[in-house]
Amino acid sequence: MRSRNPVLAVLMLLVAAVVPVVTAPGADAAPSAGTFTGITPVRILDTREPTQGPCVSGAARTVTVAPLAAPADVPADAAAVALNVTVVGATGPGYLTVFPAGVSRPEASSLNYVAGAAVPNNVQVKVGSGGGVSLFASNGCPHTIVDVVGWYAAGTPVAGGFTGVSPGRLLDTSAPGGGGCIAGVRSLGVVGTAGVPANAAAVALNVTVDNSVAGASGYLTAYPAGVGRPTASTLNFRPGAVVPNGTVVRVGTGGSINLFTFGGCVRVVVDVVGWYSGGAPIATQGFAGLTPSRLTDRASLTVCPDRGRTQVATFDLPIAAAIGAGVPADAPAVAINVTVDGPVGPGFLTVHPTGSPRPTASNLNYTAGATVANGVLTKLGAGGSITIYSNAGCPRIVVDVVGAFIAAHQPPQQPATPVWPNVSDPAVLRVGAVYYVYGSNLLVQGVPVRIPVRAITDPTAKYPLTGANSWDAATGEALVARPAWADPGSSDFWAPTVARFGGSYVMFFAARRSGVPAPNDQCIARAVSSAPAGPFVPDPGAFTCGVTTSTSPAGGGALDPEVFTAPDGSKYLLAAFSDTDEPIRVVPLDAEGRGAGPPVVLTGLEFGWESPFIENPSMVVTPSGDYLLAYSAGDWRTAAYSTGTARCSSPLGPCAKAPARSPWLVSGRDRSGVGGLTFFSKPDGTVMAAYASWNTDCERILSPTAVPRTCRNDAAGVFPWRQGSTATVDFGVLSPAPLLR
């Protein structure tokens, strides 16, 4: 990590915004059991039409959903369908239940309504007898509109596949034993009940808030248990309203999800309509639940900049590979939550794949001043994008992503909560039961430290920044003096790595040299100590200053070293070269940690999200015997900085990038600029990863030393500008990389 030309950050953002249009692998093959095929929405029922009426009243009404001819192309053996259901013009309050044809009507609701309201909801429903689903309205004879947005293949579901169930109630807070209204966070077990098995990875729910008693406005968020509460909402409610929303939630710790309400203690009802099978690897077009994250929040004036001329608004929203979303670049479809707020008049909103004609279907309807949310399952179109159309009313539009349907691999992961409060480019060396954590230069309570080192016994413990037993209190100086060749005017010493060579410990790190213009002034230094915490004494000369070229005869620069020890004990130095726009290379090392061969290319810039820099390599052996190479790419000062992987047949390559065209670890939750990942192991052989990230607002500055220091205050020892997280590397998923847990 180092200072760059700020123009490059702009170039990187422009390049990263260009997402290749990718055809999902196997898109023309028969879908695996339980996997989803999204379609451009098709209307199959509108009881307002004279030929399709009357309104739904009394006995249940059945409509055929399988088979459906082109353009829907739903096969006769579809196991379940995804619908958008809307009721309008009811003469009184009530609820509508959508359920498989041929079964007893369940004690559950798909949406609730009041007289005269237009209420939409996303409904996933198992296909019943005769390829039908049934609709029952409890009261008010509402007109009912049904659009098909996708279908699930029949058969025993593969990993990521969907199983629909007859809707079952998981929670009614007003019922006996329901625990009363929710104000704050409530955990809800979802597995082992209502037909949801223990191996379910995600559940399809209908969530309803009854705010008819409470007088405040607010929102509800459903999210996986065990993660920080996301800045996303599942539904919004106003005083006196009853608001439903169909959504999908990844199952979290203990087989549970969390429900959070803000704005009053409200009655909450949760019905389950299906579940997604766990396991790995996730099948093509299978579902992977994500921690909800916000994709866009467009103010009404952005939607309709000139209300006097038109209220029609259309805009495209890139979703695949969007920074922080966790959706792979080659995802064929996504699950999102769409909210409209405060329109100046009535209207409707339609979501459809970018590049396809706008269908005669709607995802939600609204009235003036309303706040309406609806879950949407949608196929992605050109550029991995959706198109959002609002016909009137100029509403504020909010889009949150909750899951992705997979083409080639699991979606990118988001960083864990930091446990190390002040570290950049972390490197970890375990000696017995002690972990030595090294990092790039920084100030500790106003005192400069070239190469900070901390000796800790629990790499997963969360450390306070200051005070007794704190992170700063454990920080020492590992480098006693700058190398003789290093620029005396520079304080940059970064990305250290330490390994044992015989009876000594050898450190490699990067520093700047004199007399060579940036950005080719970085060199890798070598230093030796008899103890892992130092003091390390640097060699008189640099280990390498990069590869020579016609424009850089003194070497194009080298940085971000990392020592890798192979199973046979041989050691290699991985590094970034030539200001990191050149490929990552590896150098064999001898028994003293000196170069034993020429640099060998491992991998370079290939995908749009990686530009303009590729750096921070680290390697680990997988259980299958190949070598997983992790690397950082993008601009380290921005949220686009991410971690990717390649698979290598040996420490010297050859290496091949994963088939995914998006990162492995991305910005998300409240963390940005995830990078500098390093692998290390615990005494029991468990492989861990450590990496660093910013606070979410820190990418707004171009340098960690910029003024005002919104991301660090060295004098007070608060707001450290980079923080470290650790995670267990779970090799149970290798498509294309492990999970970090």
DSSP output for 153-175: --SS--TT-EEEEEEEEEEETTS
In whole angstroms, give the CA distance from residue 324 to residue 693.
13
Q: What's the confidence (pLDDT) of residue 705?
A: 42
Listed ranges 58-72, 321-335, 357-371; the one with the highest mean pLDDT:
58-72
Q: What's the confidence (pLDDT) of residue 214?
A: 61
**Residue 229 pLDDT exceeds 70:** yes
Q: Three-state DSSP class for 696?
A: coil
**What DSSP state is assigned to residue 254?**
G
Least trusted range by pLDDT, from 182-196, 306-320, 338-352, 665-679: 306-320
Q: What's the confidence (pLDDT) of residue 732?
A: 64
Please report the DSSP string for 3-72 in residue order. ---HHHHHHHHHHHT-PPP-PPTTTTSPPPTT-EEEEEEEEEEETTSTTT-S---SS-EEEE-SSB-TTT
Confidence of residue 636 (pLDDT cuts 50, 70, 90): confident
Question: Per-residue pLDDT tens for 245-304?
Answer: 999 998 988 999 999 999 889 999 999 999 999 876 677 888 888 878 888 888 876 767
Task: Please state the pTM of the whole predicted model.
Answer: 0.71
Which is more confident, 684 or 20? 684
Mean pLDDT of 488-503: 93
Confidence of residue 487 (pLDDT cuts 50, 70, 90): very high
Q: What's the confidence (pLDDT) of residue 295?
A: 87
Percent of the chain having pLDDT more than 90?
52
Give the other-Cβ count within 10 Å of 262's Cβ: 16
Mean pLDDT of 696-725: 53
Cα dist from 355 to 148, 390, 639, 648, whole Å: 19, 17, 28, 38
**Residue 200 pLDDT exceeds 50:** yes
**Residue 532 pLDDT exceeds 60:** yes
Confidence of residue 472 (pLDDT cuts 50, 70, 90): confident
Least trusted range by pLDDT, from 157-166, 693-702, 705-714, 724-733: 705-714
Q: What's the confidence (pLDDT) of residue 146?
A: 95
Percent of the chain having pLDDT more than 70?
87
Q: What's the confidence (pLDDT) of residue 714?
A: 44
Domains and CATH numbers, the chain: 6-14+413-740 (2.115.10.20), 30-405 (no CATH)
Question: Per-residue pLDDT tens for 5-21?
Answer: 322 222 222 222 222 22
**Residue 704 pLDDT exceeds 80:** no
Strands 522-529 and 537-538: antiparallel
Mean pLDDT of 235-253: 89
Question: Per-residue pLDDT tens for 643-654?
Answer: 999 989 999 999
Confidence of residue 670 (pLDDT cuts 50, 70, 90): confident
**Residue 581 pLDDT exceeds 90:** no
Average pLDDT, rounded, for the chain: 85
Cα dist from 283 to 23, 55, 415, 528, whole Å: 16, 41, 24, 49
Cα dist from 13 to 611, 669, 692, whole Å: 8, 20, 21
